[in-house]
Structure 1
């Protein structure tokens, strides 16, 4: 992980700790190229967590947005999921 990314996660953890009480609902939003295996990888990261996952394909069909609403235990747990899915080629976390 590069220094810029690490600094982002430090700020995110601090902000989440200051603005929410934990455990809390958290909404992840990702954009990936429309490839089933990439969408399934994201969904797999949230298996057995009771997550509500919605997908929406772009108008041209080239990209798919994936929204994941899930109850997370802590800011650290939120960040762990971001790090887990960051290895998916072409993913953009919003």
Structure 2
């Protein structure tokens, strides 16, 4: 799994995703199951937005609410074909406000 929150504020997104693709291809044997992890406010509509990104993908889902109930962690183990599909999913989820990608 790749940590997307690595203080990428000053990084060009194209450079970041090119680097991510290299790392994914070097460390994974696609096609395979890939674990996506997200932290989001405990808002059911935000959860639904994330799930919609995975509509065309076979996946299993695990959610856990934070101790105070304000946040949820979402773990999605999805069968992906290649690094490009992983990046596409991260980009789509990245459009959802308030999501932290791990």
* 1:68 and 2:82 aligned: no
Deviation of 1:3 (Å): 6.5
TM-score by length of 1: 0.91
| Larger helix proportion of the pair | 1
Question: Which ranges of structure 2 fall in alignment gaps of 5 or more residues?
Answer: 1-8
Which residue does 2:40 correspond to in 1?
A: 32
Instruction: Give RMSD over aligned pairs.
Output: 1.4
Please list every run of at least 4 consecutive aligned residues from structure 1 whose deviation after the TM superposition is greater than 4 angstroms: none
* 1:82 and 2:85 aligned: no
Q: CA offsets per residue over residues 26-48 of structure 1, 9 Å max, x none?
A: 00000011100000111111124
* 1:42 and 2:50 aligned: yes
2:67 aligned residue (38, 59, 64): 59
